[in-house]
Amino acid sequence: MSDLENLLKVDNLKKHFQIDRHRTLKAVDEVSFTIRKGEVLGLVGESGCGKTTVGRLLLHLLAPTAGQVYFDGTDLYALSSDEMRRIRRRMQIIFQDPYSSLNPRMTIGSILTFPMKVQGLHAGRELQRAVYLLDRVGLDKSAINRYPHEFSGGQLQRVGIARTLTVEPDFIVADEPVSALDVSIQSQVLNLFKELQEEFHLTCLFISHDLSVVEFISDRIAVLYMGKIAEIAPADVLFQSCRHPYTESLFSAILQPDPELEQSKPPFTLTGEITSPINPPAGCRFYSRCPKRMDVCRDNAPPMIEVGADHGVACWLYDPAQGG
């Protein structure tokens, strides 16, 4: 695929935190992927695997230890602070917790118009644009003069989505935007997000620990484990024929509503202890828990191996040299 079709290209991205003289936490380690224009890439994994760190690195909210992020062909890490400030309008984030991401001392109108004033957009018509976006996310225009504490969590997340859209971005990082909401509200916000993504032709990285959420919202899904991508594939392919043992374990943990289907599922039991991200071993991060591990996995980190069209798996099981 040509780079012209990719809005975002991530190459060998790393973020290591030095804890002390002898210990390094490798939160993100050699992560590479692309996001096509107009695509939603779901990033899924258990808590602490590095998902949020990846999102913040893409927006240059964190400085990387190594690697590059190219946005529309531009190396973000090579930009000056002034150049990065200008490009930030095109890259926005929806935060996980709507209660802490909105200024409690500002009215909803001020929250929505302030980004437009900073970026010089819709001069003289900021309030009209704010009212339009409130209506678009399902809120009445009377919200303009109210404060965040007067709204529910679901309503506040709608405000957060509206605020993201005020500066007309091309790319959005949605960092678990529904995980703090009640299940009954999650579906409403997800449906709204999907409608707006299609209407405004947005390119998105959608971060979640919930497989059902990323299946609904994503075109492709990347599975992150201990700071490394274990598998990446189109959403339908991943759900029908996942290959990595860690991905298999995630799917085996999904409860089936039909008791007979639940009982007929093949057993997939993980044993062993989770590898620490602090000074991790040289081999596969999943080695200590993997029921299919081989000797090569202990000391050698697997490369990303193509197992199908647009389907990559970081597992020695699929390396032809290992008999895969």
pLDDT digits (tens, 9 = 90+) for 2-25: 455 899 999 999 999 999 888 999
From CA 27, how far away is CA 118, in angstroms rounded? 33
Which amino acid is located at 59 in the chain?
Answer: L
2 Cβ partners below 8 Å, 6+ apart? none
Place of tokens 């957060």: 160
The DSSP line for 208-250 is ES-HHHHHHH-SEEEEEETTEEEEEEEHHHHHHH--SHHHHHH
From CA 279, how far away is CA 176, in angstroms rounded? 27
User: pLDDT above 70 covers what percent of the chain?
Assistant: 95
Exposed, middle or buried by CB within 10 Å (0-12, 13-18, 19+), for 209?
middle
What does residue 46 show for φ and ψ, rounded to 5 degrees? Answer: -75, 165
3-state secondary structure of 40: strand
For residue 113, give the DSSP letter.
H
pLDDT value at residue 262: 64
For residue 65, give the DSSP letter.
S
Within 10 A of 307 (CB to CB), how many other CB atoms are there? 18
Exposed, middle or buried by CB within 10 Å (0-12, 13-18, 19+), for 200?
middle
pLDDT value at residue 68: 96
Q: Which residues of the chain have pLDDT under 70?
A: 1-4, 256, 258, 261-262, 265-267, 323-324
CA distances to 61, 155, 252 from 202, in Å: 20, 21, 32
Place of tokens 């994503």: 218
The answer to whether 315 and 245 are in contact (CB under 8 A) is: yes
Domains and CATH numbers, the chain: 3-322 (3.40.50.300)
Place of tokens 């484990």: 225
pLDDT value at residue 267: 67
pLDDT value at residue 224: 96
99-131 b/e (C-beta count within 10 Å ≥ 16 → b): eebbeeeebbbebbbbbbeeeebbeeebeebbb
pLDDT value at residue 12: 96
pLDDT value at residue 1: 45
